[in-house]
Structure 1
Amino acid sequence: MNNEHDFQAASRTPDDLHDQRRPLRVCLVTETFPPEVNGVAMTAGRVINGLLAAGHKVHIVRPRQPEEDRTQLVSFADLPTTLVRGIGVPGYNGIRFGLPSGKALEKAWRQQRPDVVHVLTEGPLGYSAVRTAQRLGLPIVGGYHTHFDRYTEHYRFGFLRQTVTNYMVRFHNRCHINLAPTHELAEALMAQGMQQVRVMSRGVDRGLFHPQYRSAALRTQWGVGKDDLVLLCVGRLAAEKQLDWVVQAWQAVRQHKPYTKLVLVGGGPEYQRLASSYPDVILTGPVSSHDLGAHYASADLFVFASMSETFGNVVQEALASGVPVVGFDYAAAKELIRHEVNGILVPFGNRQALIDATVQAAQKPQMLRQMARHAAETGRSWKSVLNDLIANYHDAIELASYADRSMQDGPHTQATQHL
């Protein structure tokens, strides 16, 4: 890590700084994409919008989505796109892994060479993209968005966890720069042996998420009285989100405040089980981005029990909507929550602490109102996040150029690259 920064400091010139203002040709490779609903797809959409707004050119590589055809309106349909074959991800209907596509990528990149390849996912498509880009000498930026190793525990493949971890490290060590969403995660990844790890946080769109979208009509639809509490959780309804713990927290609150409602926003493989197991829970299913802000702002407390997040965009969206968050002390919650100022942090993985903190917050309406005011001031703009990303693209270009010169000079100069 220090070698990387020493190289940057020594190699920057006024010409480099001028060069960083030129438009880039960015190839974005991802195995999940809008309108699919998950954090990676959302980040992909934000990155593309930000790059286009800044004058850069974007080429998308992604799997063809289920039931997609040429007459169907798809996200960013007017951008250059390479569609590849995909297969469904077990337990995640509607999301696909892209199949290896090295030959197609090499042909496309030889015809029009991108300035940088940004790989958002580590599936078969992502791996073939990294190998092909490396073979062609292209700068590679890798995004770390998903704890696939932790997912193995929730889908009965725990015996593969170390194998998956080793694969992820090897994958990202082929990249010139890797981007993690928090400082805590960056340090953990480097401790596992991952190299060239930097922090790319996440932004929040205050045009979508703001306290002004609180809706009395929506609360009435939920059957909520004026002074009743609404607990909320937003996200994919999947095993790794620990939603039973959220329900248990709500049930504990109801012992003191029986009219408290729990609203779960999102779809996923756990939807039917949750609906049948907890008929009093309000399950909205997936909600459009246009309506999502009202769902956040119309709640009083966001309860987040997931322990598999790399960031947790929903935490920042809830806070920006003026909704305090109870969550474990890691990822976005650790980065954004000031304990008992805009939310409540509890020790990672401590189910009872999460339940107790939720109950205590629900019994202190004045503290909830104070935390709500501070919560609305939390969050970073996507514009500043994208500025950092573009700077990392230029650094990857420099590192790739340096590695290329080192190979031309001789093998003794390659040690600092770890590629």
Structure 2
Amino acid sequence: MDIKAQTHTGGARPLRIALFSGNYNYILDGANKSLNRLVSHLQSTVGAQVRVYSPTSRNPAFAPAGQLISVPSVKIPFRRDYRLALGLPGAVRRDVETFRPDLIHLSAPDLLGSAALRLGRSLKVPVVASLHTLFDTYLAYYGLGRLRPLVRRQLWKFYGACDYVMAPTEAIGDELRAQNLSTQVRTWARGVDPELFHPGRRSEAWRISQGFASDRPVIVFLGRIVMEKGLASFAESIRLIKAAGHAPQVLVIGDGPARAWFQERLPEAVFAGFLSGAELATALASGDIFLNPSTTETFGNVNLEAMACGLAMVCADAPNTRALLRHGYNARLCPDQPIAYAEALAELVVDDDLRRRLGAEALERSAAFRWTEILDEVIEVYAEALGARHAAPVFQAPKRSRAVPAEPSPAGLPAL
């Protein structure tokens, strides 16, 4: 693509984007991996200049894409692994004004995002938000469930003040539209790298090195070890299938503040710690069943990575999983109850053919989610936002069919 912004003299220059993030690279999670991949794509594909404003730490999890500018922040008391940006101080605001962005992209409805939204209005540039987390769903895990209606209203107020909002699934997009907000809602799904995540990464040698028996399936957890990822449901599900007479092998990939709590309840599990790249792909593909009881995800990148590795999927029956999977066809989608997860796991532990069939169908479904097409859709939203703000489009992105096609429908099941 050849995408340029117009100058006041009618010439062209690279597009300038100011991206505001609550966590761009100091912790590794699905949201900031997606944002960094987007910035790399914008730079390499359209030659955009991207300046990122985010809290930072002395020991970041990975190198950032784009030019990262640190903003003042403090640790969150009940989640000290995360930081809260303290708005937009004068020096940072002047840096944004000097940069003169053509578009502002917000990725978190925090103090920084709200200040950046107001700045976008004063600069008269389009403001696009991407929705990565429904923060209100976390409150119950920290004893703050009664605040959920208030926080949800504030979320809708924030997103309603933006020009465009990119939701990760159609279900969340429909929820936004149901609020009758003035914002334009589009879908930005997530992708998976098939060269990294694939069944060929499976390694019997790796399994043996971790102490796993070759003739018994391995149940996998992948993600940050925090309570809102459904840790209690996961641990109780394993306890229930053990009580039913099974001897499950469990692999936990990831790290986080609740690791000690999780290890205490899964004393026989293998805790591999934080892994990335080929190490992560090998560990994941060396499992057999992926259990994800989280109901707080907006998309669930880890689901897609497990699908691409050919694992049989057992997940909470939630909007984000229904966007990827169909119960009985390529997954077991369960009510959020440990007994339901345990029953699905027990079935897959003893039925090798069913486990392999679900894994093969999940692998096939993952092929619909490729990063290049997914990220090009963001560029199309940028083009639409800029075109709506100016008399003539500032740039044109190539139109393409939707990057996430409907899943072929088996008999008796509706298509996606």
TM-score, length-scaled by structure 1: 0.85
Q: 2:342 matched to which residue of 1?
A: 355
Structure 1 residue runs of 4 or more that deviate by more than 6 Å after TM superposition: none
Q: 2:413 matched to which residue of 1?
A: none
One of 177, 188, 203 as aligned partner of 1:200: 188
Q: 1:344 matched to which residue of 2?
A: 332
One of 354, 365, 379 as aligned partner of 1:367: 354
One of 223, 228, 234 as aligned partner of 2:222: 234
Q: 2:321 matched to which residue of 1?
A: 333
Name which of structure 1's ranges 105-114 and 136-145 shifts more when overlaid on structure 2.
Answer: 105-114
Q: What's the CA shift for 1:257?
A: 6.4
One of 111, 130, 140 as aligned partner of 2:117: 130
Note the 1:127-206 alignment, pairs <5 A.
Answer: 127-194=114-181, 195-206=183-194
Residue 365 of structure 2 aligns to a residue whose secondary structure is coil
One of 9, 32, 50 as aligned partner of 1:58: 50
Matched, 1:296 2:287: no
1:317-336 per-residue CA deviation (whole Å, 9 max, x = no partner) reads 10001112111222332111
Matched, 1:383 2:383: no
8 Å Cα contact 2:76/2:84 also seen in 1: yes
8 Å Cα contact 1:339/1:345 also seen in 2: yes
1:292-319 per-residue CA deviation (whole Å, 9 max, x = no partner) reads 1111101100011001111111001100
Matched, 1:278 2:266: yes
Q: Partners of 1:174 and 1:103 in 2: how far apart?
A: 23
Amino acid at match of 2:56: R
Q: Partners of 2:150 and 2:61 in 1: how far apart?
A: 39
1:32-80 per-residue CA deviation (whole Å, 9 max, x = no partner) reads 1225121211111111121122122211111122x25xxx896137x43
Q: Partners of 1:292 and 1:356 in 2: how far apart?
A: 28
Q: Partners of 2:210 and 2:249 in 1: how far apart?
A: 8
8 Å Cα contact 1:214/1:295 also seen in 2: yes
Q: Partners of 1:355 and 1:217 in 2: how far apart?
A: 28
Q: 2:16 matched to which residue of 1?
A: 25
Q: What's the CA shift for 1:103?
A: 2.7
Decide whether aligned partners of structure 1 residues 322 and 73 sit closer, same or farther in structure 2, where only a CA change above 3 A counts. Answer: closer
Matched, 1:40 2:27: no
Note the 1:85-100 alignment, pairs <5 A.
Answer: 85-100=72-87
Cα-Cα RMSD: 2.4
Q: Partners of 2:323 and 2:171 in 1: how far apart?
A: 9
Amino acid at match of 2:233: W
Aligned residues: 379
TM-score, length-scaled by structure 2: 0.85
Q: Partners of 2:167 and 2:84 in 1: how far apart?
A: 21
Q: What's the CA shift for 1:116?
A: 1.1
Q: 1:417 matched to which residue of 2?
A: none
Q: What's the CA shift for 1:388?
A: 0.4
8 Å Cα contact 1:28/1:119 also seen in 2: yes
Residue 271 of structure 2 aligns to a residue whose secondary structure is strand
Q: Partners of 2:265 and 2:358 in 1: how far apart?
A: 32
8 Å Cα contact 1:237/1:271 also seen in 2: yes
Residue 378 of structure 1 aligns to a residue whose secondary structure is helix
8 Å Cα contact 1:253/1:362 also seen in 2: no
1:229-254 per-residue CA deviation (whole Å, 9 max, x = no partner) reads 10001011111112122122223333
Q: 2:409 matched to which residue of 1?
A: none
Decide whether aligned partners of structure 1 residues 34 and 80 sit closer, same or farther in structure 2, where only a CA change above 3 A counts. Answer: closer
Q: Give the % identical residues.
A: 29
Name which of structure 1's ranges 170-179 and 281-290 shifts more when overlaid on structure 2.
Answer: 281-290
1:321-376 per-residue CA deviation (whole Å, 9 max, x = no partner) reads 111211122233211113233221123x3432222122112221111112222222
- In the alignment, structure 1 segments of 5+ residues that lack a partner are 1-14, 403-419
Decide whether aligned partners of structure 1 residues 230 and 74 sit closer, same or farther in structure 2, where only a CA change above 3 A counts. Answer: closer
Q: Partners of 2:330 and 2:93 in 1: how far apart?
A: 49
Amino acid at match of 1:344: R
Q: 1:400 matched to which residue of 2?
A: 389
Q: 1:245 matched to which residue of 2?
A: 233
8 Å Cα contact 1:326/1:358 also seen in 2: yes
8 Å Cα contact 2:24/2:64 also seen in 1: no
Matched, 1:260 2:210: no
Q: What's the CA shift for 1:101?
A: 1.0
Matched, 1:106 2:97: no
8 Å Cα contact 2:75/2:83 also seen in 1: yes
8 Å Cα contact 1:117/1:140 also seen in 2: yes
8 Å Cα contact 1:176/1:399 also seen in 2: no
